[in-house]
Structure 1
């Protein structure tokens, strides 16, 4: 019985020593981050999709803080661009790649898994940054369309190539009237 008490006491002392060392290291080696980067990162959608050209939302937030354009995030859309413009005190521009009259707005796509071809390998589930794919190992998978951002990260890891990126079909609750700008004549 005394051996058990001594061993528990020794483990407790070791735990206290390591806890003190870790606490000191946390204070001594703390890395201060830029508060502006943290604020920008909170606005971004956190899909980590890479469509902006950066490996995730935090690196893109750092780039914005260093002067990069605020209009490179397709999953965030116009709402995110407007929030970033308000915070940074710059003009909100259209989403990158949609400027000009001859350039059409990019078509929002969503992943579609051909379930009869799916082998249930779960590689697409692991690649999805927003957990929009559901399924179990060795069973078919499917995509939750409302959650999918169309980042295209699930297509490449699929070993049987059963994932297609299809345009989102409008539904009654998502359909919007496409208004054309009417030129206004000035009265002199």
Structure 2
């Protein structure tokens, strides 16, 4: 079931990812016509696999259209990193307070980066011409996106707190020199902060 979904991880189907939607279909908890990126061909694929009738795409979950790609207006990007966290396939790169950019080969057009951008510097552009659904997205692209999503999901969140190591003992030599003790204590605090971030 999962292999028949385009792996955009867009959540438009109402599930947190493609795997959850595939499981809901397998468990007969969701219909097969809620995946706009897969389009009519995606519904047909799922119908053949499940033996269910191919229904029209449910418009409540979106419409089939050309494949889209995110682009970041680099002049407006403030480097907030919110889009980095939102991208399910790590297609956006950048650093805090530095300009971000989209790796075009990895972008699935999921649109999840759009609502989190506080300065509205991300926009989508159609890149597949008149091709829509599976005609605009290959099986190899879907499998690559699935692998990238698995790596993204397996990584702990960037804001997860790591345990603070116990403070280091101040060496006896530093205790003899008060200035050195101050420097050693400052270094220990800096190391502790670095492990937390």
Please, what TM-score do these two structures have when normalized by structure 2?
0.53
Q: Counterparts of 2:64 and 2:23 in 1: how far apart (Å)?
A: 27
- Residue deviations 1:164-183 (CA, integer Å, cap 9, x gap): 12333639xxxx9xxxxxxx
Structure 2 unaligned residues grouped into runs of 5+: 136-197
Q: Which has the higher mean CA deviation after the structures are superposed, 67-76 or 121-130?
A: 67-76
Structure-2 separation of matches of 1:95 and 1:141: 35
Number of equivalent positions = 128
Does residue 1:117 correspond to 2:76, yes or no?
A: yes
Q: 2-side partners of 1:49 and 1:105: how far apart?
A: 13
- Given the superposition, is the C-alpha separation of residues 60 and 105 from structure 1 closer, same or farther in structure 2, using an over 3 Å criterion? closer
Larger Rg: 1
In the alignment, which residue of structure 2 is the partner of 1:15?
Answer: none
Task: Name the structure 2 match of 1:62.
Answer: 23
In the alignment, is the contact (CA less than 8 A) between 2:66 and 2:126 conserved in 1?
yes
1:77-104 deviation per Cα after TM superposition (whole angstroms, max 9, x unaligned): 4554333222101233443339xxxxx8
Residue 179 (structure 1) aligns with: none
**How do 1:27-106 residues align onto structure 2 when only pairs under 5 Å count?**
40-65=1-26, 66-97=28-59, 105-106=64-65
Q: CA RMSD in A?
A: 2.9
Residue 73 of structure 1 aligns to a residue in which SS? coil
Q: Distance in 2 between matches of 1:78 and 1:141?
A: 34
Q: Does the Cα contact within 8 Å between 2:12 and 2:34 map onto a contact in 1? A: yes
SS at match of 2:47: helix
Provide the residue aligned with 2:129 in structure 1.
170
What TM-score comes out, normalization by structure 1 length? 0.55
Which structure has more helix as a fraction of its residues? 2
Unaligned runs of 5+ in 1: 1-39, 99-103, 177-188
